[in-house]
Chain A
């Protein structure tokens, strides 16, 4: 019985320590004293700006995620399958759809990394660890750049699909017109 209680206590302690996450930030960059002092002075404002940015990013991510997802699932995929069912050549449109889905997956992954980094930066005490804070912001900026890259790629693919559809539409209409004249 004593062994059982000891075992349960150890397991509970291990699980309690697993649920508490303590991220210790390490100072890495070499900076001048003046720069460090500037970071300390503007620490409060910088954190407030980051907090606001972090909060405003969330609905933007949700809205954009819904929009990109609906373009893929409710428009592109449905048109592609309808064309295939009607035995029409949808190979170009399918190829662009495939690239679009990969870019969308990349967007989701990169946003998660960016959001995790922002949360980590917001938990740093920039008065005590100004260098770690600065490095954290630099890392977050890089990750936000990756998310921006995914957004640009998605925008490009949306336009490419639009052009490919317009081309298909034109060819199909002339094919229909040709058939009518032939009759």
Chain B
């Protein structure tokens, strides 16, 4: 098929991915890589490169909306970004050493695990005990607005959170995903940061993490402008449409359908990876 047709098809797929990703809050990145690799037969390194670009675009574009409410904690975000960016570098370097088939299998497994983790009910927030000394030293604790006024929260288990963020960074750099869900999980469950603070802070972090690995991908020649162009523009368009529609659509059904799609993609990636179809 011609380049023009290919670009158009790719762009359309990207719009759909971005739209669904923003509606369900699960992110378009997890769909872009399988879409490119399985449906369009693109080499997985190019696919991951293009997906990283779209992750930067959507997260940076959306960040402005989250800032206004005063939920995100810049200090937590910046401190943890040391871990995520180093992890992203490690992941990007690892991508050169690991075969594309192995990357596909890892991708599928991560997809399965994150689908499972996000379907579990969230644990109850424990009441504050004594503050974590590291959190106090780094002034990570903060407040966030609630109906009762500003509520304080304390951050716990900072080293564990840091380690988990490093892992999230590796996944982002290796697989071209935002790892947003993983980051939120780490902040919410391990570090006991309130959910809304976790999600907004995570949104800020995703773009920076992806940029760290995208730089490596770009200089390695893994980013093909012909691919990245329709993917980036399509996902941007799709996710901005999605946020506009967000209020009126019952997301629970969509989430369910999306989870099924993700399961199918995960299975296919693992299968293709193992049988060497990629």
- Does chain A bind chain B? no
Which residues of B does A touch, CB under 8 Å? none
Which residues of A does B touch, CB under 8 Å? none
